[in-house]
Amino acid sequence: MNRSDSRHSGEVGTILAQAWDPLGTVKKGGFYDEYDSYVPRIVHQAKQGATVEELASTLVSIEIERMWVAPDMSRALVVAGLIKNLFDSVGCHPAKT
């Protein structure tokens, strides 16, 4: 993992902890690294140029399949937008051919 990937992973982890937090763990004083296992998947998608909707779909899928909580597409879209904006702001997407 290069320095840029590490920085992006940290920023995505923070977004997931602060804005997503579907289990309410961080809001209840839990650890900020609660969702770190999902970061590589999200970073990879974002670096490949995933849309907000694709990122949100991944978040909802994680909520359903891994956490067994009721999905919240509205929240997922907001969080996906934050992640997309992060990667768009640094031009971190593959060249389109």
Q: Grade residue 97 by pLDDT with cuts at 50, 70 and 90.
A: very low
pTM here? 0.87
Distance separating alpha carbons of residues 79 and 39, to the nearest angstrom: 13
Q: Grade residue 96 by pLDDT with cuts at 50, 70 and 90.
A: very low
Determine contact, residues 77/56, Cβ cutoff 8 Å.
Answer: yes
Q: What is the pLDDT of residues 33-48, one digit of tens each?
A: 999 999 999 999 999 9
Q: What is the pLDDT of residues 66-89, one digit of tens each?
A: 999 999 999 999 999 999 999 998
